[in-house]
Chain A
Amino acid sequence: QLQLRESGPGLVQPSETLSLTCTVSGDSLITPSYYWAWIRQTPGEGLQWIGHIFYTGSATYNPSLRSRVTMSVDTSKNQFSLRLTSVAAADTAVYYCARDSRKVSITFDPWGQGTLVTVSS
Chain B
Amino acid sequence: DIQLTQSPSSLSASIGDRVTMSCRSSQSSSTFLNWYQQKPGTAPHLLVFAAVSLESGVPSRFSGSGSGTDFNLTISSLQPEDFATYYCQQSYSPPYTFGRGTRLEI
Of A62, A105, A108, A109, chain B has the most CB atoms within 10 Å of the CB of: A105
Which residue from B33, B42, B43, B98 sits with its C-beta under 8 Å from A49?
B98
Docked complex Cα distance between A63 and B94 (Å): 9
Contact residues in B for A105 (Cβ distance below 8 Å): 31-34, 49-51, 91
Which residue from A63, A98, A103, A108 sits with its C-beta under 8 Å from B50?
A103
Known: A63-B95, A110-B43. 17 other contacts (CB 8 A): A46-B98, A46-B100, A46-B101, A49-B94, A64-B95, A104-B31, A104-B53, A105-B50, A105-B91, A108-B44, A108-B89, A109-B46, A109-B55, A111-B43, A111-B44, A113-B42, A113-B43
Total contacting residues, chain B, CB less than 8 A: 26
Contact residues in B for A107 (Cβ distance below 8 Å): 34, 46, 49, 89, 91
Contact residues in A for B53 (Cβ distance below 8 Å): 103-104
| Distance from B33 Cβ to chain A, minimum over Cβ atoms (Å) | 7
Query: Taking the complex as formed, is A54 at the interface, i.e. its CB lies under 8 A from any CB of chain B?
Result: no
Query: Taking the complex as formed, is B20 at the interface, i.e. its CB lies under 8 A from any CB of chain A?
Result: no
Total contacting residues, chain A, CB less than 8 A: 22
| Distance from A98 Cβ to chain B, minimum over Cβ atoms (Å) | 8
Query: Taking the complex as formed, is B97 at the interface, i.e. its CB lies under 8 A from any CB of chain A?
Result: yes
Query: Taking the complex as formed, is A96 at the interface, i.e. its CB lies under 8 A from any CB of chain B?
Result: yes
Interface of B is mostly: loop
Query: Taking the complex as formed, is A90 at the interface, i.e. its CB lies under 8 A from any CB of chain B?
Result: no
Contact residues in B for A109 (Cβ distance below 8 Å): 45-46, 55
Interfacial residues of chain A within 49-105, with CB under 8 A of chain B in the complex: 49, 60, 62-64, 96, 98, 103-105
Docked complex Cα distance between A107 and B58 (Å): 15
Query: Taking the complex as formed, is A106 at the interface, i.e. its CB lies under 8 A from any CB of chain B?
Result: yes
Cβ A49 vs Cβ B50 within 8 A: no
| Distance from B30 Cβ to chain A, minimum over Cβ atoms (Å) | 9
Query: Taking the complex as formed, is B87 at the interface, i.e. its CB lies under 8 A from any CB of chain A?
Result: yes
Contact residues in B for A46 (Cβ distance below 8 Å): 87, 98-101
